[in-house]
A and B are shown apart, each in its own frame.
Chain A
Amino acid sequence: MFSITVFSVLLVVLIGLGLYLKSVPIFDQNSFWQLISSSEWRPGSGQFGFLPFIAGTIAITLIAIVLALPIALLSALFLTEFSKSYLKKWVFTALDILAGIPSVVYGVWGTLFIVPWISEKLAPNFVEYSTGYTVLAGGIVLGVMILPLLISLFVEIFSAVPREFRDAALSLGATKWQTSKFVILRKTFPGILAAVILAVSRAFGETIAVLMVCGNLPMVPHSLFDSCYPLPALIANNYGEMLSVPLYESALMLAAFLLFIVVFIFNASSRAVIYRIERKFK
């Protein structure tokens, strides 16, 4: 039992190491800085610029967080501070379903609903023409996907605040909203931050849904209505041909390694913060 435990812990190290070793060959010809700052992507002639993909990933993640955060904060406060328990049951059921829907289904929903909506209704107000397969579409789909994660984390964190804190505020004449604003939100701020970081790292790695709605053109997006090409989509779209082009495999593994490192750092740090908060209130 000890060895199974230790081995599964070592899995983290193993994955990181494996991906790193696989991506080393590409550093023989390009410096790290060159790779992440160039936007030339021509695997055939050995040019691997990751900038468009990194920019695409960051752009859709930012949009997703900006859209999901207010909804998640408000509904988590509603669930913990305001709502009756029968209402809670309904919302949690909805969240369970939302969390259980496979990402490919989100992708289908995106192509059926969000993409046409953007290209027919929204985009004509701002730009001349847009296919709908855009940064914005990716951001919206991703935002809905991270909602259940964000809300469940927020609910967990808000419920960790002891009853007495609320009672103290309420007995001083504060309304429930003032209590939420000045006591709950302020007390749990580090936790909220940690939860957001966790959601960001989830959003970074989302593949299929994003691949289906983003358009996948390797360019740095300049507006919400441009196409983009996030890192995971790059890996998923090209793994089939990567063995036939020199250094291609190594470039894709570098993409996977970048994802791994970002997710690792984000996860480890935010989990550590959440542990500390839960311990503090215990």
Chain B
Amino acid sequence: MRLKFIEEKIAKGLMVVASLAVFAFVVNIIYTIFRRGFPALNWEMISQIPAGGYYNGGGGGILNAIIGSLYIVLGSTFLGLLISIPVVFYLNVYLKKDSKLAYVARLAFDVLFGIPSIVYGAFAFTIMIYLGMHTSLGGGILVITLLVIPIFIRSMDEVAQQLPKDLLDSTYALGATKLETIKVVLRQIAPGIATATLLSVGRAIGDAAGVMFTAGFTDSIPTSLGQPAATLPLSVFFQLSSPNADVQDRAYSAALILIFIVLVISILGRLITNHFSKHKI
């Protein structure tokens, strides 16, 4: 009789320890990067492109990578939304609940979600070679779009599946066609769209393996889709592989900037999600 209470105490203790471990990892990761990255951080780093000999300790900054990442994230988020909203709408309004196509489609998006970005990168790279394209901003945007579409669809679909059937019925009763109900559906899944965007922006900005193949790397800011583009994760990676200690310190600051951007996005996302939830039934 006593034994099970002792066991309960031990188990609960272990659970608290495990949950605290999660916190410890977060704190440790952020603290480690902050401690090494903050001293080397300065305004020059985020306001200038690399000057000559940057990777041997020369002056300049990583503005090229920040802007490049921004372009890729904006482009792929826009394309991703454009493709995934119709798919979610189709899956939930046009197809019946027990439709075979819907089942296969959801399974396929789950599989696509699991495919590593390096495989997307390799795949896109072979296609780009086939088409005779060079590494470019456009290629980077395309591969990241492929990467975020499953995230968009899965998280929007989760919300859309909760749509009350009565709501759709009442729009039909008012004479709306299926296509016209999209106005109601969009408003209902708005929080889902916000969360999905947030998730995919986070993944898009942090992805290194996919853009390595397709966007290339450059020291200048791209002015057209055909030019190569630098990205923040790759900038961290390349600076860290330098033997020069100053350049490595900059890699830590670049990593700190990357964490900062990701944290800001996730806080903003939370606020936006709350804001959009007001139309939800």
Q: Please report A residues at the B interface, Cβ cutoff 8 Å.
A: 1-2, 4-6, 8-9, 11-12, 15, 18-19, 22, 70-72, 74-75, 77-79, 82-83, 87, 90-91, 94-98, 100-109, 111-113, 144, 147, 151, 175-178, 180-181, 198, 201-202, 204-208, 212, 232, 235-236, 239, 243, 252-253, 256, 259-260, 263-264, 266-268, 271-272, 275
Find the A residue at minimum CB distance from B212: A236
- A98-B12 in contact given A71-B21, A104-B255 (Cβ < 8 Å): no
Residues of chain B contacted by A6 (CB below 8 angstroms): 101
On chain A, the residues within 8 Å of B112 by CB distance are: 8, 11-12
Contact B86 A4, beta carbon cutoff 8 Å: yes
Q: Which of A15, A207, A253, A260 is B209 in contact with, Cβ under 8 Å?
A: A207
Interface pair B119/A256, CB less than 8 Å apart: yes
Would A204 and B111 count as touching, CB distance under 8 A? no
- Are B111 and A232 interface neighbours, CB within 8 A? no
Query: Would you give 29 A-B contacts (Cβ < 8 Å), ordered by A?
Result: A5-B91, A9-B108, A15-B119, A71-B21, A74-B17, A87-B19, A90-B23, A98-B26, A100-B206, A101-B206, A102-B205, A103-B208, A104-B236, A105-B258, A105-B259, A108-B240, A109-B32, A109-B33, A113-B28, A144-B25, A178-B8, A201-B114, A236-B209, A253-B126, A256-B118, A260-B119, A263-B119, A267-B115, A271-B111
* A208-B237 contact, Cβ under 8 Å, with A2-B90, A22-B126, A239-B125: yes
Contacts A19-B126, A74-B18, A105-B29; A205 near B119 (Cβ below 8 A): yes
Q: How far is the CA of A105 from the CA of B87 in the complex (A)?
A: 33
Which of chain B's residues have a CB closer than 8 A to the CB of A105? 29, 33, 206, 236, 255, 258-259
Bound-state CA distance A17–B145 (Å) is 20
Is there contact, CB below 8 Å, between A5 and B90?
A: yes
A8-B252 in contact given A103-B208, A112-B33 (Cβ < 8 Å)? no
Across-interface contacts of B133 in A (CB, < 8 A): none
Whether B208 contacts A208 by the Cβ 8 Å rule is yes
**A96 to B, closest residue via Cβ:** B266
Could you say which of B14, B28, B89, B115 has the most chain A C-beta atoms within 10 Å of its C-beta? B115
Residue on B nearest A235 in the bound complex, by CB: B118
Contact B87–A239 (Cβ < 8 Å) = no
Known: A70-B18, A253-B126. 8 other contacts (CB 8 A): A98-B26, A100-B262, A101-B262, A104-B206, A175-B4, A232-B209, A267-B114, A271-B110
- Tell me the minimal C-beta distance from B121 to chain A in angstroms: 8
Please give me the residue from chain A that is nearest to B89 by CB atom: A1
Quick one: given A91-B19, A112-B32, A204-B116, are A102 and B233 in contact (CB under 8 Å)?
A: yes
- How far is A39 from B178 in the complex, measured between Cα atoms in Å? 59
Shortest Cβ gap from A199 to chain B (Å): 10
Q: Is the CB of B14 within 8 A of A74?
A: yes
Report B-chain residues with C-beta under 8 Å of the C-beta of A108: 33, 236, 240, 251-252, 255
In-complex Cβ contact of B122 among A19, A83, A264 (8 A)? A19
Partner of A78, one of B15, B127, B259, B266: B15
Say yes or no: B23 contacts A94, CB within 8 Å. yes
- The residue on B at minimum CB distance from A203 is B116
Distance of A208 Cα from B28 Cα, bound (Å): 20
| Minimum distance in angstroms from B166 CB to a CB of chain A | 19
With A8-B108, A82-B12, A232-B209 as contacts: A101 and B29 at CB distance below 8 Å: yes
Q: A105-B259, A147-B22, A177-B11 are in contact. Are A8 and B87 (CB under 8 A)?
A: yes
Q: How far is the CA of A29 from the CA of B6 in the complex (A)?
A: 64
**Cβ-defined contact, A74 with B122, below 8 A:** no
CB within 8 Å of A: which of B236-251?
Answer: 236-237, 240, 251
A98-B255 in contact (CB<8A): no
Q: Does B109 count as interface, using CB distance less than 8 angstroms?
A: yes
Which listed residue (B90, B110, B233, B266) contacts A100, Cβ 8 A?
A: B266
Cβ-defined contact, B86 with A260, below 8 A: no
In chain B, positions 115-144 with a C-beta closer than 8 Å to chain A are 115-120, 122-123, 125-127, 129
* In the bound complex, CA of A70 to CA of B19 (Å): 11
**CB neighbors of A among B1-58 (8 A):** 4-5, 7-8, 11-12, 14-19, 21-23, 25-26, 28-29, 32-33, 36
Option from A5, A151, A175, A236 in Cβ contact (under 8 Å) with B22? A151
Inter-subunit contact A95/B22 (CB<8 Å)? yes
**A78 touching B123, Cβ below 8 Å:** no
Interface pair A260/B22, CB less than 8 Å apart: no
User: How far is B82's CA from A4's CA once the two chains are assembled, in angstroms?
Assistant: 11
**B209-240 near A? 1/0 per residue, CB < 8 Å:** 10011000000000000000000011011001
Is B32 a contact partner of A102 (Cβ separation < 8 A)? no
